[in-house]
Amino acid sequence: MTSPVRLALLGCGTVGSEVVRLLHGQAADLAARIGAPLEIAGIAVRRLGRDRGDLPVDPTLFTTDALGLIKRDDVDVVVEVVGGIEPARGWLVEALRAGKSVVTANKALLAEDGAALHDAAAEGGGDLYYEASVAGAIPLLRPLRESLHGDRINRVTGIVNGTTNFILSAMDATGAGFAEALEEATELGYAEADPTADVEGFDAAAKAAILASLAFHTRVGAADVHREGITEVTAADVASAKAMGCTIKLLCIAARGADAAGREAVSVRVHPAMIPLGHPLASVGDAFNAVFVEAEAAGPLMFYGRGAGGAPTASAVLGDVVAVSRNRLAGVRSPSESAYADLPVRPMGEALTRYHISLDVADRPGVLEAVAGVFARHDVSIATVRQGPAGGGAAGRGEDADLVIVTHVAPDAALAATVGELRGLDIVRSVASVLRVEGGL
Ligand code: NDP
Ligand code: HSE
């Protein structure tokens, strides 16, 4: 039998411990698929004394010296499931420069400084694989970076954060407010003790950067992504969406388009948006993820599955381990990063979006004209207007009225300026809700 492929496992928490279980449980099949057995050379952790239950692994393999483990001559592949920027970046750059292959689930690092990792991989000649970094178990990055390389991707729209999808789904199902739904998500173990990265959209923004880089052959980092979380989404917003036959989702959207000078560009954003119930992403509930890819020749493609959790994420990690191990045995590496297009990333203000705006206005002659005038001044075209008595009660000429306006597509800056001016009008008592709209309505 060929000599084993030796792995350094960095991290043995939620994902790492499941990687160990799969390596143990599937050892014979993995060896047959690769053509050589996989062997764990060592496992780097933070706390040697931590109780790791019945993990099927030799306890003497654990170490707190991650760098020492990476530098060992008998390590071929480094699997990083620790997370965070440092020390992970230093470890992986060291491993890649030394010619080792790296498998990582670290979306934060890839979005923050993917360039450093890709450059180090090119220098050392090893592979850099990161399927688990976006949408957990869903095979998504491999299709983008291999299967669709003969096509042209125009748009990627995804639900890539399970925690926020659970919260928004709960708000939609029960009418609960954000705080109440977050509490439920925490009790059920979906939300972490500090949910900031999820609810403020940082996690989804990192994933959006990775998806956009692969889809558009362009380096896109976390700083290029416009990010809004879900903390401001109210029960009233959800009710408003329902009244329109829609639901609210935290979307990551990466799209091609032209910039202000007419040059081809991309926009990458993460924000809550209303989508019609008939949209392929509308029925993605609970903590599931789904990504909708629109390609020129292939047309629409939908990827769906579990975006988080130890075993689902470990499945994606192991798939990468098999791929890089096969490459090492064959003496080849996968194609390097494809960033040749180098498209500019345009600012959010230039992204083309649609708004759903709910206003509480004075119910008297001339109000509609004044409101419509604000839209016209900002060159924003109105698609639909619906007016009813304030609070949705019985029809009649009260003092106030609810006015719900949905726009056609316009630059986000023009829509934001429209809302700003509406807020300043005397006849507008309050702007009850502003939501972007995606998909036909
Ligand atoms: P955990 O917090 O459960 O585990 C982290 C592991 O890293 C622990 O074993 C910890 O050691 C170890 N560790 C932390 N700091 C150090 C250090 N300085 N030196 C050595 N070891 C260290 O994280 P997860 O398993 O949840 O996540 C791992 C990665 O996978 C992250 O990048 C995350 O974003 C990504 N990911 C996670 C998903 C999930 O569902 N959990 C889904 C998709 C991606 P110790 O055990 O001693 O504490
Ligand atoms: N916190 C992430 C989520 C884990 O909720 O989707 C997977 O990256």
Reported as a pLDDT band with limits 50, 70 and 90, residue 17 is very high
Q: Is 17 known as a binding-site position?
A: yes
Please give the share of the chain, as a percent, with pLDDT higher than 90.
Answer: 91
Please, what sign has the CA dihedral across residues 301, 304, 308, 311?
negative
Of ligand 1's atoms, which has the minimum distance to the CA of residue 82? 7
Cis bond upstream, residue 389 (ω within 30): no
- Alpha helices of 233-365 — where are they, by DSSP H? 235-243, 310-330
Which CA distances in Å does 150 have to 92, 196, 298, 344, 412? 30, 38, 10, 22, 32
Question: Is the beta carbon of 199 within 6 A of some atom in ligand 1?
Answer: no
Q: Whose C-alpha lies nearest to ligand 1, atom 19?
A: 46
Residue 395 has pLDDT above 50, yes or no: no
Cα dihedral 322, 328, 330, 332, rounded to 10, equals: 110
From ligand 1's centre to the CA of 189, what distance in Å? 16
Cβ atoms of 68 and 94 closer than 8 Å: no
Q: What is the rounded distance in angstroms from the CA atom of residue 141 to the CA atom of residue 220?
A: 15
Tokens of 208: 């959006």
**How far, in Å, from the CA of 143 to the mean position of ligand 1?**
26
Average pLDDT of the chain, as a whole number = 95
- Distance between alpha carbon 294 and the CA centroid of its chain, in Å? 16
Shortest-distance atom of ligand 2 to CA 198: 1
Sort residue 14 into left (φ over 0), alpha (ψ -120 to 50) or beta. Answer: alpha
From 22-36, 92-106, 178-192, 292-306, the region with the lowest mean pLDDT: 178-192
Q: Which residues are marked as active site? A: 207
Best CA proximity match to 129, nearest among 195, 140, 241: 140
Banded model confidence at residue 410, pLDDT cuts 50, 70, 90: very high
**Interatomic CA distance for residues 196 and 10, integer angstroms:** 25
Residue nearest to atom 4 of ligand 2 (CA): 308
Q: What is the pLDDT of residue 1?
A: 63
CA distance 81 to 30: 20
Q: Which residue has the tokens 């419509």?
A: 372
Q: Which residue's CA lies nearest to atom 2 of ligand 2?
A: 161
Q: Name the residue with the closest Cα to ligand 2, atom 7.
A: 308
| Over residues 144-157, mean pLDDT | 97
137 lines ligand 1 (CB under 6 A): no
70 confidence band (pLDDT: 50, 70, 90): very high
Q: Each residue of 26-67: pLDDT tens digit? A: 999 999 999 999 999 999 999 999 999 999 999 999 999 999
Span from the CA of 308 to the centroid of ligand 1 (angstroms)? 13
CA dihedral 212, 218, 223, 224 (to 10 degrees): -70
Residue 392, C-beta contacts closer than 8 angstroms, at least 6 positions apart: 402
In this prediction the pTM is: 0.96
Q: Is 392 annotated as a binding residue?
A: no
Question: CB–CB of 164/233 below 8 Å?
Answer: no
Residue 410 CA to ligand 1 center (angstroms) comes to 42
Q: Hey, which of 79, 82, 207 would you mutate to test ligand 1's pocket, going by the most ligand atoms within 8 Å of its Cβ?
A: 82
What whole-number distance in Å separates Cα of residue 340 and Cα of residue 203?
A: 26
**Residue 14 annotated as lining a ligand binding site:** yes
Span from the CA of 325 to the centroid of ligand 2 (angstroms): 27
pLDDT number for residue 259: 80
Residue 83 alpha carbon, nearest atom of ligand 1: 32
pLDDT of residue 68: 98
Q: Domains, the chain, ranges and CATH? A: 5-139+310-330 (3.40.50.720), 141-306 (3.30.360.10), 351-437 (3.30.70.260)
Does 192 carry a binding-site annotation? yes
Percentage of the chain exceeding pLDDT 70: 98
- Whole-number Cα distances in Å, 62 to 26, 52, 57, 58, 83: 21, 11, 9, 8, 18
Query: Which protein residues are within 6 Å of ligand 2, measured from CB?
Result: 136, 161-163, 198, 203, 307-308
Between CA 190 and CA 253 the distance in angstroms is 23
Angle at 319 between CA 318 and CA 320, to 5 degrees: 90
Q: Output the CA 206–ligand 1 centroid distance in Å.
A: 17
Which pLDDT score, from 0 to 100, does residue 396 have? 47
* Ligand 1, atom 36, residue with closest C-alpha: 105
Beta-ladder partners of 405: 357, 385
- Look at the block and give the residue holding tokens 């178990």: 137
**Was 107 annotated as part of a binding site?**
yes
Nearest 5°: CA angle at 158, between 197 and 431?
Answer: 70
Alpha-carbon gap, residue 315 to 349, rounded angstroms: 39
Is the pLDDT assigned to residue 394 strictly greater than 60?
no
Three-state DSSP class for residue 433: strand
